[in-house]
Chains A and B, each alone.
Chain A
Amino acid sequence: MTGITALGLPEARRNEAAAIFRARGVPHRRVEDWKYSDLRSALGEAGVGAGQAELHTLHLPAGIETFDLAGTNPPDWVREYFGQADRNTMSAASLSLAAGGTAFRVPKGLVIAEPLKFEFAGAGHVRGLLVLEDGASLTLVEGVTVERFRNAGLEIVLGENARLEHVRVSPNAGEAVMVEEVSVRIAQRGQYRAHFAAFGSKLSRMEVEVALEGEGAEAHLSGVALLDGKRHSDVTTHVIHRTGNTHSTQLFKHVAGGNARAVYQGKVTVARGANGSDSNQSAKALLLGENAEADLKPELEIFADDVKCAHGAAVGDLDAESLFYLQARGIPEAEARGLLLQAFLEDAVAQILNTDQRELVRTELLTALKAIA
């Protein structure tokens, strides 16, 4: 079978990725980055399997060029950008094992109002590539179908002044083990906004690495997690300020009840000479029971002098005084708790600029809150 790895990717690159994955193996809890998300034990003997997963395009706005990564004769832009990201173990796994995927290109200057919608589907490994050329603008709505195991790798390249808003809602996926790695490169004054809403599964991990490569580049990451039962959700971010005068913000709000576990690991690196960089990182979690767990790990790595970096993390439970206030006004306890949880999550949800998507996330949260509060 001629997979994408033989075609969309030069043989040498595929071998490199395969070697990386072979050397590291499936990550487990003794690997620092995977301490709170033991992929090896979640997968058990079944392991990572082969690459059978696919990318399904649900809505393709006019003007976007696509390329089936399993096809032959990739265009120049695919040759140039595809398969660059493999420093991440699981991304290396999908690069070497995936047999399906799609690449998208939004041409220079094209501003698209309606969202591009796609979802990764099926079990196994899959890749995606999204290139926004200079001045292009797009909203990406990423859906998630539930499978026993899937490992998806998505590369995003934003040209000068390009703008992308990426919204991903991953539903309550029960026993599924799902990992995804997103790698983003941003040129001068390009802007990447992302919101990840997660309802968890047996093991569910969203890992995003953003490189702010050009002056004035911006990344704004936000997300919510609402977990109950034995569900798990991990969002791991790494924002790298490679150049000066770059700006990043992160706002994550997690709620965990039952025996659930919500993980946030966020690293911000400011490279040598990236003066004038500005980064703000905030992660908060609410625990609804004694057996729920939240792990918040913000990290800063600064090699430049003149930077502004703030980070904060806090784990708490619902404020008893607020709860009493609402009850004393006649709002029944369960509803009052729901209202306070909704309020807790709201500022992260409010980061979504696309109105339809913002409302959709709110609605999903409300439905889930009724069950959890």
Chain B
Amino acid sequence: MLDIKNLHVAVGGKEILKGLTLSIQPGQVHAIMGPNGSGKSTLSYVLAGRAGYDITGGSITYNGEDLTALKPEERAAKGVFLAMQYPVEIPGVTTMTFLKTALNSQRRARGEADLDAIGVLKLVRAKAKTLNVSEDMLKRPLNVGFSGGEKKRLEILQMSVFEPKLAVLDETDSGLDIDALRVVAEGVNALRDPSRAMLVITHYQRLLDYIVPDRIHVLAGGRIVAEGGKELALELEAKGYEHIIKVPA
């Protein structure tokens, strides 16, 4: 589903990703672990199509298509979803209005009919319940005044509403206490599906206790430096990144 080959990315002229190769099949959950500054967030933004991230080499192929040629909104409509580390606050747009606008934009781009307000409301309410997203949150301006946990739950709610094919979760565990982490992880696990691929980006092994990956990649210095099964996370936890990263500085 997703094939990243020898990807080089520069931000403001500085190379951050230096030949990253990664491949994910439908139904799989992959984790990317790595220390701060290893290029984890850069990878997530490049996949979502954020401006200012220059691809200087390599390729990203998504379902046989060159992902890099698509605008962020086109990627979303084709099923790419990025749960962001720092969801933005948008005063003046209610969460419900935002969800409806986004969902119908994606549907329109796929040639599907708009869902009416009541249809969207029903869909969102049903999914919101299982994620502890209150009716009040849906009425408030998007992310404004939300706690860290509420923001992350809302990211997962969006993922559940948009039903993406490829979900990238960028440090979804950051800033969460253990209860919030569990709610978020359960939400993610409920979305595991044979047709859906997930890329879970995290600094800590903790999240992977709840979302158990099929494969773990260790990112350091802009490259994958180690790969393995779920046991790799435990090894990292026990011995630290220093032990595994043996790349020259």
Contacts and interface: CB of A to CB of B under 8 A. Distances in A.
Contacts of A328: 48-50, 72-73, 75-76, 82, 84
A330 B110 CA distance: 11
B109 interface: yes
Interface centre among A321, A332, A335 (most CB of B within 10 A): A332
Nearest to B77: A330
A324 B87 CA distance: 11
A162 B33 CA distance: 65
Contacts of A332: 73, 105, 109
B206 interface: no
Contacts of A325: 84, 87-88, 90
Contacts, number: 78
> What range describes how many residues of A lie at the interface?
20 to 34
B132 to A, nearest CB: 21
A100 B103 CA distance: 55
Contacts of B91: 343, 346-347
A26 interface: no
Given A339-B93, A342-B92, A344-B92, A330 B109 contact: yes
Given A340-B90, A346-B92, A327 B101 contact: no
A321 B52 CA distance: 11
Contacts of A57: none
Contact of B73 (A320, A330, A339, A345): A330
> What range describes how many residues of B lie at the interface?
20 to 34
B92 A347 contact: yes
A33 interface: no
Interface in B85-109: 87-88, 90-93, 98, 101-103, 105-106, 109
A324 B92 contact: no
B28 interface: no
Contacts of A335: 101, 105
Interface string A330-359: 111101100110111111000000000000
Given A329-B76, A329-B162, A322 B90 contact: yes
7 contacts: A324-B50, A331-B105, A335-B101, A336-B73, A343-B91, A343-B92, A344-B92
